[in-house]
């Protein structure tokens, strides 16, 4: 695992032709979370030279003037516990504390390591705190295997949870604390840990956008959420929970395609208040595919979206389909006039008829139809 994790996401379009679109869905792992955010000045640990005082989680910090004293850990939390902290607008972290996993938290602990137990001077009493590169390596070396074991293998590497590690704040490290916490977290596009509720093994791990959100796919196939007034490729219609339809396990490809085709098309019509509005928008339903690997890892949901296809590629859309034709620009032009026709059609008939490939160049440069 690397600190900046790319998520491979498969997609299916309204034409039921399977395609694969590599999409890094904002899954950059956050390394040494509390230590990075806290820094020297913001830590609640005692300053050098003081005797003992509560650390950020209420434990006692050791007296650094006593060379034989064991440094108290910045937290007593262990595997199975969840921890959280506050993040100020300037990125400063405060209020690190253990909390119930059924309440909002930023990190679920899967393993606890004491780096001082390793027979190397790298983590000795006077050793400098590892830099980010070394922290990433420590996470890879010490956290991946125990975290997957902690979850009994129920982890979707393409899902919304990343394996990460937390080192003590710099001030605690200077006092001799060599605790390393391994665990799981979900982050935003900037890599900042976000709050989640529930234990990872018990929740849906799928990466999904909220209905009404628009998503941009850049030339590197990285997907990010943007205001619908900005250029984008997808407008989210719904979140489809496949476990509700397939409670007994992963379905066949045919069953999955049929269910998603019917459900996503109906959701798209409902989102735009009718089939005629969908037809006039010139957009078509488009849904994510969920692999067996992701299903077995704990993901159950996919997004249904609206897209436009131009010569096999995503078109660049500006505006929301909810605002009708007059609110849309597609590849820099208004939607094309649709031929007159009977507005009633088979809900399973797919609009557009093309399966888009991932953009290879700047999506905004795609020629207009």
Residue 302 has pLDDT above 90, yes or no: yes
pLDDT (average), residues 99-127: 91
Q: pLDDT digit string (tens) for 335-350?
A: 999 998 865 555 555 4
Cα 61 to Cα 144: distance, rounded to the nearest angstrom: 29
Radius of gyration of the chain measured on its C-alpha atoms = 24
Cα 328 to Cα 319: distance, rounded to the nearest angstrom: 5
Among 2-16, 209-223, 291-305, which stretch is predicted with the lowest mean pLDDT?
2-16
Of 140, 189, 139, the closest CA to residue 160 belongs to 189
Q: How far does Cα 239 stand from its chain's mean position?
A: 15
Write down the pLDDT at residue 222. Answer: 84
First to last CA, the chain: 42
Q: pLDDT digit string (tens) for 246-260?
A: 999 999 999 999 999
Write down the pLDDT at residue 51. Answer: 28
- Greatest mean pLDDT among 122-126, 340-344, 345-349, 364-368 lies in 122-126
Residue 40 has pLDDT above 80, yes or no: no
Residue 326: pLDDT band with limits 50, 70, 90: very high
CA dihedral sign, ordered 177, 183, 186, 187: positive
For residues 350 and 260, the answer to whether their CB atoms sit within 8 Å is no
Write down the pLDDT at residue 94. Answer: 84
pLDDT (average), residues 56-65: 31
Which DSSP symbol is given to 169?
A: P
Residue 41 has pLDDT above 50, yes or no: no
Residue 23 has pLDDT above 90, yes or no: no
Write down the pLDDT at residue 169. Answer: 87
Arithmetic mean of pLDDT over the chain? 78
Cβ atoms < 10 Å from Cβ of 361: 9
CB-based contacts of 165, cutoff 8 Å, min separation 6: 31, 32, 135, 138, 139, 142, 143, 180, 181, 182, 183
Of 7, 37, 59, the closest CA to residue 107 belongs to 37
Cα 85 to Cα 94: distance, rounded to the nearest angstrom: 6
Say which residue the tokens 């089939």 belong to. Answer: 275
Query: So where are the chain's domains?
Result: 8-26+207-365, 33-202
Among 25-29, 107-111, 213-217, which stretch is predicted with the lowest mean pLDDT?
25-29
């Amino acid at each position: 695992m690397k600190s900046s994790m790319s998520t491979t996401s498969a997609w299916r379009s309204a034409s039921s032709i399977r395609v694969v679109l590599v999409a890094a869905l904002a899954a950059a792992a956050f390394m040494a979370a509390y230590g990075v955010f806290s820094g020297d000045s913001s830590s609640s640990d005692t300053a050098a030279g003081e005797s003992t005082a509560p650390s950020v989680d209420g434990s006692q910090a050791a007296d650094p003037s006593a060379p034989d004293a064991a440094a108290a850990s910045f937290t007593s939390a262990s595997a199975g516990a969840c921890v959280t902290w506050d993040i100020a607008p300037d990125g400063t972290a405060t209020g690190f504390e253990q909390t119930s996993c059924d309440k909002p938290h930023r990190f679920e602990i899967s393993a606890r390591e004491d780096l001082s137990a390793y027979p190397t001077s790298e983590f000795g009493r006077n050793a400098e705190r590892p830099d980010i590169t070394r922290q990433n390596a420590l996470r890879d070396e010490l956290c991946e295997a125990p975290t997957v074991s902690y979850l009994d293998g129920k982890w979707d590497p393409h899902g919304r949870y990343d394996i990460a590690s937390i080192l003590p704040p710099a001030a605690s490290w200077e006092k001799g604390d060599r605790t390393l916490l391994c665990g799981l977290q979900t982050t935003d596009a900037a890599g900042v840990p976000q709050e989640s509720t529930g234990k990872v093994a018990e929740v849906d791990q799928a990466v999904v956008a909220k209905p009404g959100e628009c998503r941009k796919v850049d030339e590197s196939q990285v997907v990010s959420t943007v205001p619908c007034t900005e250029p984008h490729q997808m407008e989210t219609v719904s979140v489809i929970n496949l476990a509700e339809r397939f409670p007994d396990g992963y379905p066949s490809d045919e069953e999955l395609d049929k269910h998603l085709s019917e459900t996503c098309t109906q959701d798209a019509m409902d989102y735009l208040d009718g089939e005629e509005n969908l037809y006039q928008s010139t957009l078509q339903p488009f849904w994510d595919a969920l692999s067996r690997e992701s299903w077995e890892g704990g993901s159950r949901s996919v997004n249904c979206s609206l897209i436009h296809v131009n010569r096999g590629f995503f078109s660049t859309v500006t505006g929301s389909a909810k605002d009708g034709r007059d609110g849309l620009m597609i590849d820099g032009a208004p939607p094309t006039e649709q031929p007159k026709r009977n507005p009633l059609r088979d809900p399973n008939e797919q609009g557009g008829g093309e399966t888009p490939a991932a953009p290879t160049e700047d999506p905004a440069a795609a020629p207009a139809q």
